Amino acid sequence: MRSPTLASKFSNGLFLVSCRSYGRPVALLPNLASSPARLVSTSFRSRTVKAAAFECDFSKSDVAHASSPNSVNGLQEYDRLLPCPSHSSPPRIEHLVVPEEGEGPVLDYIRRALDLPPLFIADLIHFGAVHYAIVCPQPPPTATPEQVRVFKEVTKPSVLRKRASIKGKTVREAQKTFRISDPGQFVEAGTYLRIHVHPKRFPRCYEIDWKSRIIAVAESYVVLDKPAGTSVGGTTDNIEETCATFATRALGLVEPLKTTHQIDNCSEGCVVLARTKEYCSVFHGKIRDKKVKKLYLALAAAPTPLGIITHYMRPVNMAPRLVSEEFTKGWYLCQLEVMECKEVAWPDSIVEAEYCVEDCGWTKKNVAYECKINLLTGRTHQNLNLTLEGL
């Protein structure tokens, strides 16, 4: 069952955004969570391996990672990030601290430290998958004793005082991470590097006729009908395979489009992309003044009561996002309003396959319920699936 054609309306400063979410029917959805990270350390260098944590039903293709299908002695061979592969690999994140003998262009140091091909490293940098900080950040609780030892060694006051690059900065300011955008960027001893060797991939980007998804083009903005299974503005490790990037190319624009707001990767619907930095500020002002309204259409396997639904979200910026119906001190308030709930035909096999609707053991598949939803709080990662779970 497809949603009606999206409509966008500009009047008196009000922009009505309609979003469709076609993941599994929201009732009875299981929580999707990753297992704790396992760190394997050599000096400060570590490899983070996480069990696959999928944000939506497109995840089986979303997390196709960058590497050649070939292997030598059971180890992956790396070639280039493009073309986008169809197979998946576990996430791999390397944490490095540059030693004195490692000073020089960042690409050269990563090549020697990780034994990766130069073109592959250049691709990672282009994708935004390499980050740095002038001073090594505080290790996480899962860090090994060796990692903690190295951190203490490279952040001693006596060591930091000798580094001209941090003069005028607090330690916290110097520990802030930034993306590396130039393979030739110089890195000095003590610089912290985080390399996402297997960035999250979005193969759906290469299957879409992006020009057909453009709804409106104005002097200061573009309205896009975002496809499901894509990212609006990118992820920590991939700012290349995004709606903003592909819409820019589809329109032949010289200046890249800029994101003004987000909707979940597994949702599809209207997003506004700014053509100028000035319009980013204008649109953010509209959001702040509540002149922007997002309406979602979601499928449920059972009738959903009309009115405001309230949940509370644990204020931890990591998966799993825990929510509770009971008030918990310090947890974020999450509210949505179910405006309509109407009976519709259960999705046919073609729609189920296209939108990856999984069989969760429902006894009856005669009808579903299409809900029109208004997110009132718009918390980061306030996922419709989580908020409506168990209704």
With CA atoms as reference, report the closest residue to 250 among 220, 225, 276, 269.
225
The answer to whether 323 touches 359, Cβ cutoff 8 Å, is: no
Please, which residues have CB within 8 angstroms of residue 307's CB and are 6 or more apart in sequence? 337, 338
C-alpha distances (whole Å) from 308 to each of 207, 311, 336, 340 are 38, 10, 6, 12
Structure-block tokens of residue 325: 């119906």
Question: Choosing from 182, 237, 264, 359, which is the catalytic residue?
Answer: 264
Burial class (CB in 10 A: 0-12, 13-18, 19+), 168: exposed
Gap between the Cα atoms of 168 and 188, Å rounded? 17
Strand stretches in 55-203, DSSP E = 71-72, 75-76, 93-97, 104-105, 130-133, 178-179, 186-187, 192-196
Structure-block tokens of residue 199: 């960035």
To the query of whether residue 62 is one of the catalytic residues in this protein, the response is: no
The answer to whether 326 touches 310, Cβ cutoff 8 Å, is: no
Which residues lie across from 312 on neighbouring strands?
324, 333
DSSP-derived 3-state class of residue 262: coil
Active-site positions? 264
